[in-house]
Structure 1
Amino acid sequence: MSSTRMIFAKISMFVSRNKIALILTVLVISILVKLGFWQLDRAEQKRQLFADYAEQQLPLNLNDPTAAEPERYASVEISGQFEANRYFLLDNQILNGQVGYQVIGLLTPQPALSDTLVLVNLGWVPVGSNRAELPQLELPQGVLTIPGRYYQPSEFGFQLSDHILEQGPWPQRIQRLDIESLSELTQLPLAPYVVLLSEQAEFGWPRQWQPQVMAPEKHQAYALQWFSLALACVVVFIFASRSRTKTTEE
């Protein structure tokens, strides 16, 4: 019992003489632990993302106005007709190491959903030798049934230009799929989602929709590193406390 009191007395003496070191140590450990839990949270988000993509279900009919809103990456289908000469080109998209655009067609649903246009991502095309000349493409014509996946773009995303839309003749180059802003800028009644054309569809351009993000296991590995660093700080502080206490006694 007396030895325990002596140990606490020594630690108290060290802490009273090294308050700044203690505060800094606690602050660093708190940051490291917080980073560890943040990585675990990111791992769970990525795990759910891959689970949503992998889930197989019967396609939901987006032409049905009474249908519930689909989940992320849910299988859907919609019938309609593409605008012949109006489409967006989403800039800075990479496929197999090559830079290009994703072709975003404007689909008029049939039967119509009021006057709303639905964005359909038809796949990837290369930039070409001259960025000043946008690809002139022939979109599929006639009434089609579009199989795909339901997707709602994030309002935040990578872009090189400050302008979301480069206004001018169609096609129009865009830097981000901010649907609300695009609807305001173009005065088009755009639905608040995108249909990613199925990779098995016979029309469109090359496309890969599986999420290209860091795997959950990597986030867990980073979390372990942060927690290990926090533990190392605790160990170093304890050893430093003992060494300083012994030196003081001598």
Structure 2
Amino acid sequence: MKDLSTIEHIKHNKALTAFSCVFIVVFILLGFWQIERAGFKASLIQEFDLEQAKAPKPISSSSLQWSRVYLEGLYDPTQQVLIDNQIKDGKVGYKIYTPFYYGQDQAIFVDRGWISQGKTRNDLPNINFKASKLRIIGSLVKPEKEVLAGDELLTNDWPLVSQTKSPSVIQDAYEKQFLNMVLILDPGSLFMNEHVALTPFVITPTKHYGYALQWFTMSLVLAGMFIYAIKRES
């Protein structure tokens, strides 16, 4: 009789039952989705490690993300870009993007490292240097897509201050077409500023597993609350 009473209470509380069942299923699906994301990123990290272990090769149209490459050409220090809101060791600063021209009129943005912000937002750091033809070595990265807001993604005076790392946006300030990837200089390179270690992802597989555990825990908590509410009425 008690089991029958519980079933009757479940039927009587249709809204609570529907709400609980739907969100329990949603939380479980989100948990499995996070596990899937963790596995996907783990495979990409393995690919990253393999690419980084290889000796640098000449850059080409077949060069992949995270590949170590070298190229010969010339920097243009007169038209550099400061990537805004870059934090290093708790300090606010910029990433330095410098255009590098190589091959048959080809261009790529080179990440020359991090530099701290001045005393005020208007006090931009001095990033000028004397350019000469040279060979540079680094790793290719494709900046992750960002959610961009606001009208002024780029300022008007050199060096430009950019709210995005995306080459497709930054190149609007130039007459040339740039490669859709950025070259991060090897540490110790000539004209390299403070180096920031290259990491393939901000959110690691471990974090995704942690998020999955949170979703599964929430589904269990909701299931427990539903069972408690029904038992209390029984």
TM exceeding 0.5? yes
Give distance in 1, aligned partners of 2:93 and 2:100: 22
- The amino acid of 1:13's aligned partner reads E
CA offsets 1:16-72 (integer angstroms, 9 cap, x no match): 21111111111221232133123323423443453344221122311x4xx5131x2
Q: CA, structure 1 residues 139+34, in 2 after alignment: closer, same or farther (shift >3 Å)?
A: farther
Give distance in 2, aligned partners of 1:41 and 1:139: 46
Give distance in 2, aligned partners of 1:221 and 1:186: 43
Equivalent in the alignment of 2:182: 194
Note the residue ranges of structure 1 that are not aligned, 5 or more in a row: 246-250
CA offsets 1:99-158 (integer angstroms, 9 cap, x no match): 11111111110xx23x33111001111111232232232336222111111111233157
How far 1:242 sits from its partner (Å)? Answer: 4.5
Give distance in 1, aligned partners of 2:147 and 2:57: 28
Asked if the contact 1:90–1:102 (Cα under 8 Å) also holds between the matched residues in 2, the reply is yes
Equivalent in the alignment of 1:156: 146
Q: CA, structure 1 residues 19+61, in 2 after alignment: closer, same or farther (shift >3 Å)?
A: same
Asked if the contact 1:105–1:122 (Cα under 8 Å) also holds between the matched residues in 2, the reply is yes
Equivalent in the alignment of 1:119: 109
Equivalent in the alignment of 1:248: none
Deviates more, 1:28-37 or 1:147-156: 28-37
* Residue among 186, 194, 210 paired with 2:198: 210
- The amino acid of 1:127's aligned partner reads Q
Instruction: State the secondary structure of the residue aligned to 1:51.
Output: helix
1:117-156 correspondence to structure 2 within 5 Å: 117-139=107-129, 141-156=131-146
Q: CA, structure 1 residues 158+198, in 2 after alignment: closer, same or farther (shift >3 Å)?
A: farther
Q: CA RMSD in A?
A: 2.6
CA offsets 1:157-188 (integer angstroms, 9 cap, x no match): 577x54211012x2211111222222234333
Give distance in 1, aligned partners of 2:221 and 2:124: 55
Give distance in 1, aligned partners of 2:153 and 2:176: 15
- Alignment pair present for 1:68 and 2:62: yes
1:14-163 correspondence to structure 2 within 5 Å: 14-55=9-50, 56-62=53-59, 64=60, 67-70=61-64, 72-109=65-102, 112-113=103-104, 115-139=105-129, 141-157=131-147, 162-163=151-152
| TM score, norm. by length of structure 2 | 0.85
Instruction: State the secondary structure of the residue aligned to 1:192.
Output: coil
- Alignment pair present for 1:223 and 2:223: no
Sequence identity percentage = 25
Q: CA, structure 1 residues 158+140, in 2 after alignment: closer, same or farther (shift >3 Å)?
A: farther
Q: Which has the larger radius of gyration?
A: 1
